[in-house]
Amino acid sequence: MCKVLAVKNGKQSNGRQRYYCKSCKISFQHKYHYNAYKIDTNKNIYHLLKESVGIRSTSRLLSISKTTVMKRIKYMGSLISKPIYNEKFQYYEIDEMRVVVGYKLKEAWITYAINRHTKKVVNFIVGRRTKRNISVITKSVLQLYPKMIFTDGLRTYRRLIPKKQHNTRKKNTTVIERNNLTLRIHLKRLSRKTICFSKNFGMLNATLKLYLWGDQLQF
């Protein structure tokens, strides 16, 4: 925020002076009473999320309510869209990762595709491991004219990916298998044998967007 170009912009109901930045076109206070309204709150939530810090831990560290933390995560996630890749003739790996969602710990799957060379996630979907959900990911990859797509032995892939572009040898999915482990380490809600889990698919989806494509945000 460019405070040099800021001018006075009325007062709060409590008498505090507000300012308006002509460059950023944002109205703000010089000093906030509540921690949730500090300029770097969203940025701090984002970095803590990527370091496997849970909702309640983030709430304690930043001295804000856990409800605010969840709302901010969902809001930031809504600002992120799937990146558009112009790459062609690359090698990709597709896999599914089992997670649990809801208080009854219902089984869910994160299905996603990763570029073997750049390690970037092309697309992901959260839900049941059905042909419909998996086809969303395979179509995203096939649109990039891949040289080869590596998957496990799940029969659904054989029906969705042309035989000439499909390889199911186990040793060829080492990149995405290692990325699965990285996700479980960096995101608290994906860790195994813990009490952390996502209450709903919306929260899980927003968290994954932030972790995978959070560099789109401008704090």
pLDDT at 205: 95
Q: Which residues of the chain have pLDDT under 50?
A: none
Percent of the chain scored above 70 by pLDDT? 97
Enclosing H/E stretch for 28: strand 26-29
Name the residue with tokens 């008498």. 15
Give the domain ranges of the chain: 1-31, 91-207
pLDDT at 2: 61
Residue range 157-167, pLDDT digits in tens: 999 999 999 99
pLDDT at 11: 83
Nearest to 91 by CA among 160, 174, 158: 174
Whole-prediction pTM value?
A: 0.82
SS3 annotation, 53-120: CCHHHHHHHHCCCHHHHHHHHHHHHHCCCCCCCCCCCCEEEEEEEEEEECCCCEEEEEEEEEECCCCC
Widest pairwise Cα distance in the chain: 70
DSSP code per residue over 114-150: EETTT--EEEEEEE---HHHHHHHHHHHHTT--SEEE
Calpha distance 197→8 (Å, rounded): 45
CATH code of the domain occupying 91-207:
3.30.420.10
pLDDT at 57: 93
Residue range 121-151, pLDDT digits in tens: 999 999 999 999 999 999 999 999 999 999 9
Q: Which residues pair with 123 in a beta bridge?
A: 113
Nearest to 55 by CA among 217, 187, 201, 218: 187
* Long-range CB contact pairs, 135-138, < 8 A, 24+: 135/160, 136/111, 137/94, 137/111, 137/112, 137/113, 138/94, 138/113
Q: Which residues pair with 112 in a beta bridge?
A: 95, 124
